[in-house]
Structure 1
Amino acid sequence: MNDIWLLILYIVVGLAVIGSLLAVFIKTSRSRGNYSGPRDANDPAPGAAPGADAGGAVDLAERPVVLDVPDEGLVVLPGGDAPVLEQPEPAAGRLQRLRARLSKSNNALGKGLLALLASDKIDEAVWEEIEETLLLADIGTEPSLELVEILRERVKIMGSRKPDEVRAMLREELVKLVDPGMDRSLAVSRQGELPAIVLVVGVNGVGKTTTVGKLARVLVAEDKDVLLGAADTFRAAAAEQLATWGARVGVPTIKSDVDGADPASVAFEAVKTGIEQEVDVVMVDTAGRLQNKVGLMDELGKVKRVIEKLAAVGEVLLVLDATTGQNGLNQAKVFAEVVDITGIVLTKLDGTAKGGIVVAIQKSLGVPVKLVGLGEGADDLAPFDVEQFVDAILN
């Protein structure tokens, strides 16, 4: 009889030990994100940032010390101090710093034109080659023909074709073609009691959300108080991507936690919050859309109209991929009809881009290129400067 009670005692103790070990295992697994069993209602979703709710949405107004951001842009100090925000580079001088990349991508255009114009004999075949060089650089048919005619006259008058003289002449004409008289300033100053509103639009895949994040850095470097609105509600990662860009420089993001939410509602809420918080600039990122999809383009017009119930949209920036050439021009025309484009942002102007699209777009729309993206770095977005751009082409 005693043996039976002793056996029961061993079984009870054994079960207790196994239960304790199992509890430790579950706790450890949950801390590592490997546990897939039931969670308490107050637990964050797997992979969510600390301080997130069960849906994984972070309240940026009450941002926790540690943020789960892929770029690790925030450095957490020992002892639980607040994270150190990144300090963006000043916008002034960025294009000059990045001229080396720009000159590489456009070198064929500049060198080709200089070599042709400085040749001992410029006959009709040479002029045709010059025209072809300009067309291959995506400058466009009309501007290319115009420039060739001007160069013909000037070469005839100039007589000699010394390299320095040819370069000076070509530089002067290219600067005129790119048009230094266009207003390339950004409308990012408060309008009375209202913030400046910047709406950013474009097709899929041009780097629109990244451009908004980089432009936020430009504005922060100019001591602007910025708020972001994540009105791209169709791409699941867009809002989190934008919030990450903003968090790195202390800029909050208004976003919806519901997939497919009404973009106009998010934009409205962002502007409303910006007015209440008296920020300098509210930037609204919109979903990428194909220019031939009428419904999507109508929706974009709706976003702008809803925003203007609260404040005027002072800047509508169209983001274009410089590598798309003349297709980018077609995109620009359609977007301009829907939302009155005020400026162009050219991304991917490094690499294989030819740069002549700057001329083609401006000639076609009468809208200036205001910003250019020249690389993958966080501060590789620069204000467009005509003379530095031409100097980069001519190396």
Structure 2
Amino acid sequence: MGLFDRIKRAFTGEDKVVKDQIEEKEEQIVFEKYDRGMEKTRKSFSDKISDLFTGWREVDEDFYDDLEEVLIGADVGFQMTLALTDAIRDAVEEQNVHKPEDVKRVMLEEMVAIYEKDGQASVDLIENPNGPTVVLFVGVNGVGKTTSVGKIAYNLKQSGHKVLMAAADTFRAGAVEQLNVWGERLDIPVVTGIDQGDPASVVFDAVKKANAENYDYLLVDTAGRLQTKVHLMAELAKIKRIIERENPNGIQEVLLVLDATTGQNALTQAKQFNEATEITGLVLTKLDGTAKGGVILSIRHELDIPVKYIGLGEQASDLQVFDAEKYMYTLIRDLLENV
């Protein structure tokens, strides 16, 4: 059964297993977080698509031109828009559909199909049984990087893991102070260095501590700059060499933190950072504060990098492990009636 069929069954209540899962208290809380956190994105996307079908005429070139304009306006992205429009055009012709509800169904089916066609990579952080899993957090200033470190540390600790944090953004005093506040609030130790000091020395001390004291995870906050890709690559390469030397298992994760409110600029940042260093996953923050959540579709289509966490609110528990099925269900739910 494909992702669209599972979403449709969950919406109609036909699938008792899915319905029962949704009704379970813990699962329901997660759905409510997605529902609340994606409200602006869902409403904006649904309104744009609904307007497209208002005053229905026929499926012609003008319709596809309008569809492309709607999708780009919904921050689905240029490449994803072209791929989706072509897929919808082929499916409409193949299935010979003409009614607006059938065309809408085809559109939603193809959108879900394109999203899942390459399979969803694992969104879980790697858990290493032989030593600490080191997670580097990279991203430009202002995207919520340090806050994401604290929130993911909270989630890991809640799951029973022993967690250590490292304040390697030594060039911004506020970042060190902010991470220390998280550490005190969560009762998680933070390794720090001197102001304007070498970030790599902080990482060196943190890796030593993580190994000596048997921590499960070491979360490393790095400087948020993208002035030149050469400088970024050199700084991250130095940190990586130290971790590889001091930690027998090397680096397991490099998470890029992006601000969802920037829309397609987030995709541009992802491309730039991925050229500078190998990104293993994305953290998309502030999704609850924007109508540009469609950027996840373009990120999924253009980059072979999984979204691992999304920010659906201010609380620590609102940074959720990304669930593609919940995301797609929440995005298109308002459009499923009469489909």
Q: TM-score, normalised to structure 2's length?
A: 0.82
Query: 2:59 maps to what in 1?
Result: 122
Secondary structure of residue in 2 paired with 1:232 = coil
8 Å Cα contact 2:260/2:293 also seen in 1? yes
Cα drift, residue 359 of structure 1: 2.3
Cα separation, 2, equivalents of 1:184 and 1:110: 29
Other-structure match for 1:234? 171
Question: 1:111 deviation in Å?
Answer: 3.2
Contact 1:117 1:161 in 2 (8 A): no
The structure with higher relative contact order (CA 8 Å, sep 6+) is 2
DSSP-derived class of the 2:293 partner: coil
Work out whether 1:349 is the aligned partner of 2:287.
yes
CA distance in 2: counterparts of 1:297 and 1:205, whole angstroms: 20
| Secondary structure, counterpart of 2:109 in structure 1 | helix
Q: Residue 284 in 1 paired to residue 183 in 2?
A: no
Equivalent residue number for residue 219 of structure 1: 156
Would you say 1:100 and 2:42 are equivalent positions?
no
Distance in 1, Cα, partners of 2:111 & 2:28: 23
Distance between the aligned counterparts of 1:129 and 1:168, measured in 2?
A: 17
Which whole-Å CA distance do the structure 2 matches of 1:370 and 1:110 have between them?
25
Quote the Cα distance in structure 2 between the aligned partners of 1:365 and 1:91: 29
Q: Structure 2 matches for 1:3-14, cutoff 5 A?
A: none
Structure 2 counterpart of 1:315: 253
Aligned pair 1:385/2:285, yes or no?
Answer: no
Q: Which residue of 2 aligns with 1:145?
A: 82
Distance 1:283 1:92 in 2: 29
Provide the rounded CA distance (Å) in 1 between the counterparts of 2:31 and 2:306: 16
Secondary structure at the counterpart of residue 237 of structure 2: helix
The 8 Å contact of residues 230 and 285 in structure 1, kept in 2 or not, is answered as yes
The worse-fitting range, judged by mean Cα deviation, of 127-136 and 356-365 is 356-365
- Is the Cα contact below 8 Å between 2:53 and 2:100 reproduced in 1? no
Matched residues, number: 303
1:58-111 Cα offsets, whole Å, 9 max, x none, are: xxxxxxxxxxxxxxxxxxxxxxxxxxxxxxxx8995354232330322322233
Kindly provide the amino acid, as one letter, of the partner of residue 275 in structure 2.
E
Distance in 2, Cα, partners of 1:305 & 1:95: 41
Q: Give distance in 2, aligned partners of 1:187 and 1:116.
A: 40
Per the TM alignment, residue 114 of structure 1 is displaced from its structure 2 partner at its CA by: 4.3
Taking the aligned partners of 2:62 and 2:174, their CA distance within structure 1 comes to 53
Match of 1:110 in 2: 46
* In 1, Cα distance between equivalents of 2:68 and 2:227: 30
**Are the counterparts in 2 of residues 188 and 197 from structure 1 also a CA contact under 8 Å?**
no
Which residue is 1:14 aligned to? none
**TM norm structure 1:** 0.71
Q: Which has the larger radius of gyration?
A: 1
- For residues 298 and 100 of structure 2, the distance between their equivalents in structure 1, rounded to whole angstroms, comes to 30
Please say if residues 40 and 290 of structure 2, whose CA atoms lie closer than 8 Å, have aligned partners that are also in contact: no
Matching of residue 132 in structure 1 with residue 66 in structure 2? no
Q: How far apart, CA to CA, are the structure 2 residues paired with 1:117 and 1:388?
A: 25
Tell me how far 1:362 sits from its aligned partner. 2.7
1:49 aligned residue: none
Instruction: State whether residues 34 and 326 of structure 2, in contact with CA within 8 Å, keep that contact through their aligned partners in structure 1.
Output: no
Question: Is the partner of 1:274 in helix, strand or coil?
Answer: helix
Please tell me whether residue 170 in structure 1 is matched to residue 107 in structure 2.
yes
How many angstroms does 1:179 deviate by?
2.6
Q: Is the 8 A contact 1:229 1:282 kept in 2?
A: yes
> Shift of residue 224 of structure 1?
1.0
Report the residue type matching 1:361 in the other structure.
I
Aligned pair in 2 of structure 1 residues 91, 279: CA closer, same or farther (>3 Å)?
farther
SS at match of 1:319: strand
The 4+ residue runs of structure 1 with deviation greater than 6 A are none
Q: Which residue pairs with 1:254 in the alignment?
A: 191
- Which segments of 5 or more consecutive residues in structure 2 lack a partner in the other structure? 1-25, 335-339
- Structure 1's unaligned 5+ residue stretches are 1-89
Q: Indicate which of 266, 269, 278 corresponds to 1:331.
A: 269
**1:290 alignment partner AA:** L
Contact 1:372–1:382 (CA<8 Å) still a contact in 2? yes
* Distance change >3 Å, CA 361–CA 98, structure 1 → 2: closer
What residue in structure 1 maps to residue 11 of structure 2? Answer: none
Distance 1:313 1:355, change over 3 A: same
Q: Deviations over 1:155-210 (max 9, x none)?
A: 342525364x5554333322223337121322341241x11111110011111000
Shift of 1:293: 5.4
CA drift of 1:277 comes to 0.8
Q: CA deviation at 1:233?
A: 0.4
- Three-state SS of the structure 2 residue aligned to 1:237 is helix
Q: Deviations over 1:221-277 (max 9, x none)?
A: 211111001101011121121121122222111111x21111011011111101111
- 2:136 maps to 199
Contact 1:347/1:373, CA 8 A, preserved across alignment: yes
- Contact 1:224/1:281, CA 8 A, preserved across alignment: yes
Q: 2:203 aligns with which of 267, 272, 292?
A: 267
